[in-house]
A and B are shown apart, each in its own frame.
Chain A
Amino acid sequence: MRDSRFMRVLALLFAVVLGAAVITGCGSTKDDEESGSASSGSTAAETTAADSSATIKKGLNVVVMPKQLGNPYEELEDKGTVAAIEETGGTAKIQGPTDAAASSQVSLLRSITQQKPDAIVLAANDPNAVVPVLKQAQQRGIKVVTQDSDSAPEGRQIFINQATTQSIGEQLAKQALETAGSAGGEVAVLSATANAPNQNAWIKIMQTELKKPEYSKIKLVKVAYGDDDDQKSFQQAQGLLSAYPNLKSIVSPTTVGIAAAARYVSDSKYKGKVAVTGLGTPNQMRKFVKDGTVAQFALWNPEDVGYLGGYAAAALASDVITGKQGESFKAGKLGTKTIGENGEIVLGPPTTFTTDNIDKFDF
């Protein structure tokens, strides 16, 4: 009987360990924050039916939905949206699910549709799950804008794209060139998970860029994957530096990876010899910019993404625009923006942060 108790404990341990192993083995399951989705849609340029002389209505009632409440990146975006709506004299309320599953957003969207706001601005958790309920909302005259993370085009009228895949890939190649020094040399990429769609798309563009003659001095030696896990990214950075002693720069197109790599380099003998760059947030990277580990990195400003989304929603709800390609509207401090292919508006190239401007940003 003693043996059977031992077996029980063993079996229990087995179940727990296996469960844990499977979960960690599959890497980070959290939503990728910086989704710069590629657009390869139709080119349906049509004549504009919108009254561009019309002005934004006052007192608009807008609901803003993040992918999930409590996500700091999304909170910044929503802050921007609320600010934009308030500038137009309307009110914006944030209502979001407490978990990142698509079904939670759908269920909440149904209730929001019943509230009949003038517009919904959301970051979709899933491009397709939200479409039926968003269509229903549009049938009731509610305008729908997606930002950061798009739904299928039939679900929304406008998508605010923070940056195109192309522009981020080009940015990464440029960063590699600028940080590797005048003589050029070896660079490595520290990415998120091996199957992260955004990062893979960006890296692919970067590799294409690096084939161009102006990048001939740069040699991409390795793409490592830190799985968007701080510890693993840290170890990967360590591994890269010992495997490639001539490495000049680590380019990390993920906020987790860039911070982990910078942390490793800043405490190692490579500090000042190997550059770290990529995509990161100012608050997370400030320390490493100040101590000289990081000369430059880039990201779009999430508050601006939300701000543009807010103005787009207000313009739609005021019938200034209808969401067709070529229509344009005034987006407050961001100036005039024009709707591109597929109802997309691109925010613009990412902002590059250096020691000169980093203190102007707080996110």
Chain B
Amino acid sequence: MSTIAPTAPAPDRTPSSPRSEDSRLKAILGRWETLILALIALVFLIGSGISSEFLTGESLTTGSSDFTEYAILALPLTLIIATGEIDLSVASVLALSSALMGYLWNQGLPMEGIIPICLVAGALCGLLNGWLVTGLGLPSLAVTIGTLALFRGLAFVILGDESVTSFPTGYTDWAFGNFAGTVVPNTIVLFLVLAAVFAVVLHRTPFGRAIFAIGANREAARFSGLRVNRIQLRLFILSGVIAALAGILLTLRNSTAAGNVGEGFELTAIAAVVLGGVSIFGGTGTIGGVLLALILLGGIQKALNLDPDISTYWVNIVFGILLIGSVLGPNLAARVREARRINSRGTRPPRPGRSAAPQSGPGGEGNSNA
């Protein structure tokens, strides 16, 4: 069945648009990543102005390890968002995994047993999300808002307000430590391995092509023989497992398990995905773009945190502005392009004032208010 996956990504959403849309899209993507690179350069410039500590190995170590969980959560989210769905519950699964880890450790289970149990719990969370979305056909936005509250609540039921510490030092040292004498944290090495796997799956396999096909046009994907529901169910389960893994890493990195960890992590992870050029409507995106966005966001956080005069709120503010910009930018560009296309044919632009086209429409009808 799934062998009939389309070879070209993104069968067009607007059937009337010309064939050249595809190559244009690629060009925009290219430009988008260039833009992110330019922003990264800017942030590094500003960062080294803020503090001489910014461009140091220690900043790389601490800045990247603080971003481990966002980065790991962003990987399955990239896949889910590329299909046009969303999973807002990832940070709550992370917390549930952390709380479960603490609870089981208190019960005297060995770490070797706890880690698989947490991953399975994450898979079950993902299964619930996936079943509600694919089995019952509910919108993923609403479902995962519900499970965001549900899983977070369960985390508090399991562990209450307490926190659990004293995890075995063998594990915490690994999570806290760097890879083989370099300045790169072990957890980031693990992330990079995962990122490579995700990149191969998304960009080099039929499964990856199916993801883009679903995101571009769900109905068309179904009619071309893709088992859309099954693929999405798998993605939600994957997201649950990876979120549980992130929870394990966070717990070990801080050697503390608690139910309140990771509040709001889903927002940063989603910001990274969307900023990385993955369309929030599905159908396009690359793991590489998301990696760049993660570097950008991580750099911003580190730079702002190094200056005691800058309130921590600014990290959120800057992330928020970037997120809006990343949704707005391509949207505006598309409108301008559309307006130009119509203008060049001599017809009136659909949204006056929005296009920078010199010639004004000939017929000044209803909506021609300047």
B152 adjacent to chain A (CB < 8 Å): yes
A11 near B152: Cβ-Cβ < 8 Å: no
A86 adjacent to chain B (CB < 8 Å): no
A114 near B152: Cβ-Cβ < 8 Å: no
Given contacts A18-B146, A129-B255, 18 further A-B contacts (CB under 8 A): A8-B137, A15-B132, A16-B146, A16-B149, A18-B150, A19-B146, A19-B148, A23-B149, A23-B153, A101-B262, A102-B256, A107-B66, A108-B305, A108-B312, A114-B59, A114-B306, A126-B163, A132-B176
Nearest CB on B from A21, distance (A): 8
The 8 Å CB contact of B264, one of A99, A102, A196, is A99
Q: Which residues of A contact B255 (CB under 8 A)?
A: 128-129, 132
Given known A-B contacts A11-B136, A25-B153, A110-B66, A19 and B147 have beta carbons under 8 A apart: yes
Interface CB pairs A-B, < 8 A, 6 = A15-B150, A16-B146, A93-B308, A101-B261, A101-B262, A110-B66
A100 adjacent to chain B (CB < 8 Å): yes
B309 adjacent to chain A (CB < 8 Å): yes
A18 to B160 alpha-carbon distance, docked (Å): 17
B258 near A22: Cβ-Cβ < 8 Å: no
Q: Sorted from nearest, which 9 A-B pairs have the closest CB atoms? A: A22-B153, A19-B149, A15-B146, A19-B150, A111-B305, A93-B308, A129-B256, A128-B165, A107-B66
B347 adjacent to chain A (CB < 8 Å): no
Residue of A nearest to B261 (CB): A101
Q: Which residues of B contact A20 (CB under 8 A)?
A: 149
Given known A-B contacts A101-B258, A110-B66, A114-B53, A26 and B137 have beta carbons under 8 A apart: no
Residue of B nearest to A102 (CB): B256
Q: Which residues of B contact A103 (CB under 8 A)?
A: 250, 253-254, 256, 261-262
Q: Which residues of B contact A25 (CB under 8 A)?
A: 153, 157
B306 near A11: Cβ-Cβ < 8 Å: no
A42 adjacent to chain B (CB < 8 Å): no
A152 to B136 alpha-carbon distance, docked (Å): 49
B302 adjacent to chain A (CB < 8 Å): yes
B132 near A11: Cβ-Cβ < 8 Å: yes
A338 adjacent to chain B (CB < 8 Å): no
Residue of A nearest to B69 (CB): A103
A117 to B306 alpha-carbon distance, docked (Å): 11
Residue of A nearest to B312 (CB): A98
Given known A-B contacts A101-B258, A102-B254, A132-B176, A29 and B312 have beta carbons under 8 A apart: no
B368 adjacent to chain A (CB < 8 Å): no
A114 near B260: Cβ-Cβ < 8 Å: no
A100 to B316 alpha-carbon distance, docked (Å): 15
Residue of A nearest to B310 (CB): A95
A357 adjacent to chain B (CB < 8 Å): no
Residue of A nearest to B156 (CB): A26
Q: Mark A23-55, 1 if CB is under 8 A from B, else 0.
A: 101100100000000000000000000000000
B336 adjacent to chain A (CB < 8 Å): no
Q: Mark B131-153, 1 if CB is under 8 A from A, else 0.
A: 01000111000110111111011
B62 adjacent to chain A (CB < 8 Å): yes
Nearest CB on B from A39, distance (A): 19
Q: Mark B188-210, 1 if CB is under 8 A from A, else 0.
A: 00000000000000000000000
Q: Which residues of A contact B148 (CB under 8 A)?
A: 19
Q: Mark B255-271, 1 if CB is under 8 A from A, else 0.
A: 11011111110000000
A64 to B62 alpha-carbon distance, docked (Å): 20
B153 near A26: Cβ-Cβ < 8 Å: yes
B256 near A111: Cβ-Cβ < 8 Å: no
A12 to B156 alpha-carbon distance, docked (Å): 22
B143 near A29: Cβ-Cβ < 8 Å: no
A115 adjacent to chain B (CB < 8 Å): yes
B219 adjacent to chain A (CB < 8 Å): no
Q: Which residues of A contact B153 (CB under 8 A)?
A: 19, 21-23, 25-26
A residues near B, CB below 8 A?
A: 4, 7-8, 11-12, 15-16, 18-23, 25-26, 29, 63, 69, 93, 95-103, 106-108, 110-112, 114-115, 117, 126-129, 132, 193, 195-196
Q: Which residues of B contact A127 (CB under 8 A)?
A: 165
The 8 Å CB contact of A195, one of B59, B62, B149, B160, is B160
A102 near B316: Cβ-Cβ < 8 Å: no
B154 adjacent to chain A (CB < 8 Å): yes
Q: Mark B263-290, 1 if CB is under 8 A from A, else 0.
A: 1100000000000000000000000000
A251 to B176 alpha-carbon distance, docked (Å): 46
Q: Which residues of A contact B250 (CB under 8 A)?
A: 103
B23 adjacent to chain A (CB < 8 Å): no
A106 to B161 alpha-carbon distance, docked (Å): 19
B21 adjacent to chain A (CB < 8 Å): no
Q: Which residues of A contact B264 (CB under 8 A)?
A: 99
Given known A-B contacts A15-B132, A22-B154, A102 and B261 have beta carbons under 8 A apart: yes
Q: Which residues of A contact B316 (CB under 8 A)?
A: 98
B161 near A195: Cβ-Cβ < 8 Å: yes
Residue of A nearest to B158 (CB): A26
B308 near A22: Cβ-Cβ < 8 Å: no
A12 near B147: Cβ-Cβ < 8 Å: no
Nearest CB on A from B57, distance (A): 11
Nearest CB on A from B239, distance (A): 16
B143 near A12: Cβ-Cβ < 8 Å: yes
Greatest chain A CB density within 10 A among B62, B253, B309 is at B62
Nearest CB on B from A125, distance (A): 9
Greatest chain B CB density within 10 A among A16, A19, A99, A117 is at A19
The 8 Å CB contact of A29, one of B161, B176, B254, B313, is B161
A22 to B67 alpha-carbon distance, docked (Å): 29
B369 adjacent to chain A (CB < 8 Å): no
A137 to B15 alpha-carbon distance, docked (Å): 61
Given known A-B contacts A99-B264, A195-B161, A63 and B308 have beta carbons under 8 A apart: yes
A11 to B132 alpha-carbon distance, docked (Å): 8
Nearest CB on B from A17, distance (A): 9
Nearest CB on B from A118, distance (A): 12
Q: Which residues of B contact A23 (CB under 8 A)?
A: 149, 152-153, 156
Nearest CB on A from B160, distance (A): 6
A12 near B138: Cβ-Cβ < 8 Å: yes
Q: Which residues of A contact B262 (CB under 8 A)?
A: 101, 103
A112 to B306 alpha-carbon distance, docked (Å): 6
Nearest CB on B from A14, distance (A): 8
Residue of B nearest to A69 (CB): B312
Q: Mark B144-188, 1 if CB is under 8 A from A, else 0.
A: 011111101110110011010110000000001000000000000
B51 adjacent to chain A (CB < 8 Å): yes
